[in-house]
Structure 1
């Protein structure tokens, strides 16, 4: 029996370790990721030296919830064992209850998660249309410099970043690995302590997988997400609000204090104004950016209306 450390603490450590292995990916030095956005949002972030993380309304999308629920059900069915113990039955029961609590929380009050989405694709027609209406811009960020700022949050452990997983087999394998490692750990503890510790742990696992699993139909997005989720109920950054496409978007701001780690800017395919590039160069220069370190180009994607 493991008495040297409480189960809740052991599960927290194990969860962070598994996130590092299963979700986060190691980036090559100097790699750039791209954030598609409007000119208004681009200027807002540059003016304030803030990164804007929008509230993740995707979790209110019933189709995405149904998709993840099916992934979880499939994994549970594949994890059945011949000689079920009382602990195993408790484990599966708590897992199902945690999923139900997660769905209820979203239905009643919404799950508080804020996301900054980027892509490996510098010039994607689908992303131009979906996120910038073809006439916006995308900001290329130095990944390493961007991820260093996760420490600005009140609880850095609430920040998870990594590639979105689109392959169904890989999704099931990631989730199964989370659960198998959890079960191995809880077998070392008394049943009553397991009952108390599993709900919070399962909620973290479910929330993380729901954020980073998407239907294979979206694979062309090649999305990389930085997500801040408050599962502990502790104080979180104050939400702000901005207008976008006629609706109000809640967001939180990550303050870089100085300039954002921008490496490249691409001008959307619908923007045919010749002075767009010169205007952007002059604007960034006026904000103190070194234009020897930032390249600006026009999209070559063919966009017809």
Structure 2
């Protein structure tokens, strides 16, 4: 019979591959994804040819990871109705215990999530206000090129990417399917082999879903996320930056060549006349062709 280590590896692979199959990807050729940010971050990423991925608990919506616990409780209540024997009972009990400690342990353990958020919306008033304070910038990336470049990280680093899910019904279905597949995977093992590996596996499933599940009130953001889940493998790679008076932990994903930028938009609150020419001069100096990287001013109307 296979060892607990082998089972843990199978469950880890299932958590990543199974979730990747559930999440919708950008399919349309020529589509762009937009990252709303400040000038310091924009210049930092262009200077280094790296994406800056912020630690999950430091995202603007501090309730994101909390929201997921309600989804899991609903799914857990539904699954508790079934009776599939002793192994099922242990599975449900371990799931309940992991839920009870999820928020506390994701803060205190080495389990960390880093996220790079983008949107399918090019010029959103809400996104300008929430993520760039109106006077920031957004970077338009060629979705096809960007995702092609990061795909080789998928299984090596626990990297996930896809559209955020806003439908409560769809969220519950995705989570329930993942958990049922997990139970099928362990069904050939003895209970004592399973108990030692389930907690870590449930954390992987929970973290993956928590990253990509948001309340329907955020649907207008049309968010696409790239996320890396780590259990300490990123020690020594975490950097820090200041944003709105707060220190933000982040990691970098490196590109061998220039970032696949297609467009840069200047925020609606930025009324500095030379902002456009300044950005154009800057990106040109970094080797970008202004025939392929366009710069424009937001047409959104902010009122203060």
Q: Report the TM-score when normalising by structure 1.
A: 0.90
- Cα offset for 1:104? 2.4
Query: What is the alpha-carbon root mean square deviation over aligned residues?
Result: 2.5
CA distance in 2, matches of 1:195, 1:80: 18
CA distance in 1, matches of 2:15, 2:167: 22
Q: Is the 8 A contact 2:57 2:65 kept in 1?
A: no
Alignment match, 2:259: 260
Aligned positions of 1:19-168 closer than 5 A: 19-58=19-58, 63-108=63-108, 111-150=111-150, 156-168=156-168
Range moving further from structure 2, 158-167 or 270-279: 270-279
Aligned positions of 1:154-303 closer than 5 A: 156-231=156-231, 233-236=232-235, 238-303=237-302
CA distance in 2, matches of 1:235, 1:107: 16
- Structure 2, unaligned stretches of length 5 or more? none
Range moving further from structure 2, 55-64 or 279-288: 55-64
- Cα offset for 1:119? 0.5
Cα 1:154–1:215 shift into 2, 3 Å: closer
- Structure 1, unaligned stretches of length 5 or more? none
CA distance in 1, matches of 2:234, 2:47: 26
Cα 1:26–1:37 shift into 2, 3 Å: closer
Q: Is the 8 A contact 1:154 1:237 kept in 2?
A: no
- Cα offset for 1:28? 2.3
Q: Secondary structure at the match of 2:295?
A: strand
- Cα offset for 1:53? 1.0
Q: Is the 8 A contact 2:26 2:143 kept in 1?
A: no
- Cα offset for 1:120? 0.5
CA distance in 2, matches of 1:193, 1:102: 22
Q: Is the 8 A contact 1:58 1:64 kept in 2?
A: no
Q: Is the 8 A contact 1:264 1:294 kept in 2?
A: yes
- Cα offset for 1:6? 3.5
Cα 1:34–1:149 shift into 2, 3 Å: same
Cα 1:281–1:100 shift into 2, 3 Å: same
Cα 1:109–1:197 shift into 2, 3 Å: closer
Q: Is the 8 A contact 2:53 2:114 kept in 1?
A: yes
Q: Is the 8 A contact 2:51 2:253 kept in 1?
A: yes
CA distance in 1, matches of 2:83, 2:92: 14
Q: Is the 8 A contact 1:137 1:267 kept in 2?
A: yes
Q: Is the 8 A contact 1:265 1:296 kept in 2?
A: yes
- Cα offset for 1:131? 0.7
CA distance in 2, matches of 1:26, 1:61: 24
Kindly provide the CA deviation profile for residues 119-168 of structure 1, in whole angstroms up to 9, marking residues without a partner as x: 01110100000111111110001123223443686972411111111111
Q: Is the 8 A contact 2:60 2:130 kept in 1?
A: no
CA distance in 2, matches of 1:242, 1:103: 24
Cα 1:192–1:182 shift into 2, 3 Å: same
